[in-house]
Structures are given as structure tokens and as C-alpha cells.
Structure 1
Amino acid sequence: MVVIALEENQKYYTTGELKDRGYSYYKIGRMEENGQLHRINRTTYENLSYKGDENDFINAAAYVPDGVICLMSAARYYGLTNFLPDVVDIAIDRKKKVSTLPSWPEIKIFYFDPSRMDTGVTEITEGGDSFRIFDIEKTVVDIIYYRNKIGIEETSEVLRNYLKRQDRQIDRLYTYAKMLRCESIVRTYLEVLVS
């Protein structure tokens, strides 16, 4: 099997990706010893010859591969808040566990039930890496749902900024709210802000 070199624009590789590129477990071990790779958990390696920009969401996704960027981190990504989070909010299924977390970026784990985890997920690719994030409407619904943890002022700011957007999809917002059993509170927030 022909071994394919690691890309300089991909920061993280899973063991499966390395095997698909022709690297044996022995070769992966040698690359780790030689300082080409750094193991960050059971399934993922950091490519130490990476030349791209640092991205907190891609770093978080490497440590929490089944996670989805959520709440205020997603709101910041979509430009719905001026709040600068000092942690990356990431949701995982409440039955899952995370074995290793980095010292940077700091990650805050939210445990979602399966119906909330599987709704409104989109994947963003940058260079050779990617991360999963809830779409904008799902983000707004989640923030309203978790308003007591996030703060009423922050929740109102996110919803006001969402309503100013030309690409908003109120029907999708209501669909998510109904699916996630928080339609009445979403409706109340919308009525207060629109009136």
C-alpha cells in the first residue's frame, strides 16, 4: 500500500484516516516518536506539521468528536451576540462520555437528550478539518430553552439580532420549538420582541 503524506492544512487525523492513507499502527507509532504526530485521545492525533490558522471549534471537535458546537459559541459564530465566550460550548448525547479535555480551548460540555442532539446539525469544513454546529434557528431555540443558564439579557440580544437578519426562517424556528417542546416560551419571546 502506498503511504500518502499528511496535509499541512489538516490539523487532526483519526486513526481510521491515517490507516486509510496507508499508515500501519507501527508507522503511526513511529510518527508519534519522531514528533510528527501527537496523540490527544484514543482515536485522534494532532498533526504537528499543520500550517493553517488556529480554530477553537476545530480544536474542540478533535477532543469531543461526537460533539456539536452550541449555545453562545454558536450564537457568536452566527453573529447573534457581541458576547465573547471564554469557553467553547459543545453539546454531546447525555449517554456519552468525554475522556480527555484540553487546557486550551476551555470546553464546557452540555448533555443533550438524543432528540435535541440530532436536530439542526450542520457541518463546517475549513482546510482539511471540520466541526459540527447547530444551525442558526436551532441555536436560537436552544438559547431560549436554556435562558436561565445563559441569562435573560443575552437571550434577548440573540433573539433581537436573529430577527434583524434577512435570512431568518421563522417557520423553521417554530418547527424546532415544537419538536423540542418549548413552543410556548419561543412564541412569548417573539411576541414581546416584535410588539
Structure 2
Amino acid sequence: MSAEITPNDHFLTVDELSKRGLSHYKINKLVASGVLVKVSRSMYENTAYSGDESDFSIVSAFAPKCVFCMMSAARYYGLTTYLPDAVDVAIERSMKISTLPDWPAVNIWYFPHKRYSSGITAASDNSGDLRIYDIEKTVVDILYYRNKVGIDETKEILKNYLAREDRDLICLHRYADELGCRKILGTYLEVLI
């Protein structure tokens, strides 16, 4: 293993490798020797990584501009007991993801600019930082796409959100107004409260 790469480095971009003094020639030698695996045009995986693996960190390496959303975000916030069979990520409709990992499965949601860009927050899990929608934006997105997510899952998520002490109903209503599901939110709140 190269001295510039440690077992704590899971995914590294070409820029990060260059800043560590590795030329393209050295990077290609590390790939040829099996130390690095090329994930995409600008991303490499360290085969000697010894830290915790996370679905979120793996997907972020393949899609750096993605935002974790829908059921993956609901699970992150503890709003559902449902275990998704794929990692849900949002990208803007004009963006492209050229390569996806073999594992975990990824479910891509193509959002219009307004829906994609609102509510993004920084968070972290056991393997690093990630971009995820805040809890209120997550609830509103799930309400909006309730027919794709599932009605029972949607009810569970909204019910669990309303039971939280840190809920922000003003923010929830603001997102519902902004993203076109005020009426849906009102209907669900009438039923659940």
C-alpha cells in the first residue's frame, strides 16, 4: 500500500489523490497492483479500507451530488420501521449518474430543481458525512409521492414525525406550500389528529 493512502481512506477522488502527491501514472500503478479500484471517472476505492462500511458512503462515492431522500432519509431519522430494499437518492433532473455500485441497490429519484435544492442538510453516519434532506422536507416528499412509497408507510412516517418533540410544524407547512402538497398534508393531519 502507498504511504499516501491509509486504511482509513475508503473512497478517494482524483483531486484528493493528487493533493497527496500522486500523479496519474502512480494512480494507474496502484490500480494495476490492486491497491485502488476505479469506481468512476474521478473516484477510486481503497481495497485495504478497514473502517465501517455504510450504504450511504458507498452511494455517495458513486453519486457525489446525490441527496439521500424518501425512505432512506425516513429510516435515518427513525421515522419508520420499514427496511428499504434500496438506498433512495435524489438528483436534479438534468444530472446524470454514469455508474452505480453493484451493492447496495440504488433507487434514483429525479427531482425538479425546486424540489431537489430545498431542504438539503449535512449529516453524518458511522463512516462519514453525507447530504440528506432535513426531516420536514423528507416527510413532505413522502406525502407527495405517497402512492409510490405506500399509504401505510406514509401514515407511519407522519404519525412518528408528529410524535417527536423536535417537530417543526411551521417548517412542515412551509415545505408543503412550497412543494405543492398543502391539501394532502391537511387531509392526513385531519385523519391522524
Distance 2:68 2:30 in 1: 30
Mean Cα deviation higher: 15-24 or 103-112: 15-24
| 1:95 partnered with 2:94 | yes
For the aligned residue pairs, the C-alpha RMSD in angstroms reads 1.6
| 1:133 partnered with 2:110 | no
- Match of 1:80? 79
Alignment gaps of 5+ in structure 2:
none
Distance 2:152 2:105 in 1: 24
Alignment of 1:32-181 (within 5 A): 32-126=31-125, 129-181=128-180
**Could you give the per-residue CA deviations for residues 70-127 of structure 1, whole angstroms, max 9, x where no partner exists?**
1011111111011011110111111111111112100011100011111111122457
Q: How far is 1:21 from its partner?
A: 1.9
Distance 2:23 2:176 in 1: 47
Q: How far is 1:131 from its partner?
A: 2.0
Percent of pairs identical after alignment? 51
Shift of the 129–45 alpha-carbon distance from structure 1 to 2, 3 Å rule, reads farther
CA contact (8 A) 2:7 2:48 kept: yes
- Matched positions, count: 192
Q: TM-score, normalising length from structure 1?
A: 0.93
Distance 1:82 1:9 in 2: 31
Q: How far is 1:8 from its partner?
A: 2.3
Shift of the 126–140 alpha-carbon distance from structure 1 to 2, 3 Å rule, reads closer
CA contact (8 A) 1:124 1:130 kept: yes
Q: How far is 1:66 from its partner?
A: 1.1
Counterpart of 2:167 in 1: which secondary structure?
Answer: coil
- Match of 2:187? 188
Distance 1:47 1:184 in 2: 48
Runs of 4+ in 1 over 4 A off after TM superposition: none
CA contact (8 A) 2:53 2:127 kept: no
Counterpart of 1:172 in 2: which secondary structure?
Answer: helix
Q: How far is 1:4 from its partner?
A: 6.6
